[in-house]
Structure 1
Amino acid sequence: MYRQLFFWMFLFLIPEVCISNSWKEAQKHKTGTLEVYWFTSVPFIYEEQGQLHGIEYDLLMEFSVYLQETQGVELSIEWIEAENFHSILDIMKDPESPDILGTSAFSITEDRKLYLNFSDAYLPDITVLVTGQGTPIARTYQELKEMLDGKVAVTIKGTSYENLLRNLKDQLNIDFEILHIHSDQNVLDNIAESENRFGFIDLPIYLMLMKKGGDLTRQNLYNVRGTGYGVIMPRASDWQIPFNQFLSDPRYGEKVARIISNYLGAELYEFIENLYGGTEIGTSILTKEKELQLALIKNANLKLQKDRNIKRVLIVGIIFVSIFLGVIGFLFFKNRRNTRLLITQKDQIEAQQNDIRQKNEQLMNRNLQLIALNEEKNVLMKVFAHDLRSPLGQIIGLSDFLNTHAEELSEEDKELLIQIGTGAKRINQMISKILDVEVVEGTRSIVLREQVDVTQITEDIVSRYRMAAAQKGIKMELSHKHDDQIIETDHMLLFLVLENLVSNAVKFSDTNTCIRLETEKQDESVLFKVCDQGPGFTEEDRELLFSRFQKLSAKPTGGEQSMGLGLSIVKKYVGDLGGRVWLETPNGTGSTFIVSLPI
Structure 2
Amino acid sequence: MHRLLAFLLALFCFLFCLLGSEISNQNQRNLEVVWFTSTPFIEEDGNGNISGIEPEMFELFKEYMKNMKGESIGLTFTKAENFINILDRVKANDDPNIVGASALSITADRKGYAQFTETYLPDITVLVSSEGTPIVNTIEEKLEMIRSLTAVTIRGTKYETLLRNLKADTGIDFEVVYITSDMNILDGVMSAPNRFGFIDLPIYLMLIQKGGEVTRQNFFNTQGDGYAFILPDSSIWKSDLDEFLTDPNSKAAIAKIISKYLGEELYEFIDNLYGGPELSTSILTKEKELQLALIKNANLKLEEGQAFQQTLIVGVIVILIFFVVIGYLFYNNQKTTRLLVGQKDRIEEQQKDIRVKNQQLMNRNAQLVALNEEKNNLVKILAHDIRSPLSQIMMVVDIVNQNMKDQFSEVEVKMLSQVSISAERINQMVTKILDVDGLEETRIKVLQERVDVSEIMRDVGQRYRPIAAKKNIELTVELCENHNIIRTDHLLLLLVLENLISNAVKFSEPNTMVSLSSKCEYDNVLFRISDEGPGFSEEDKKKVFNKFQKLSAKPTAGEVSTGLGLSIVKKYVQDLGGKVWLESEEGKGSTFFVKLTV
TM-score (norm 2): 0.49
- Flag the structure with larger Rg: 2
TM-score (norm 1): 0.49
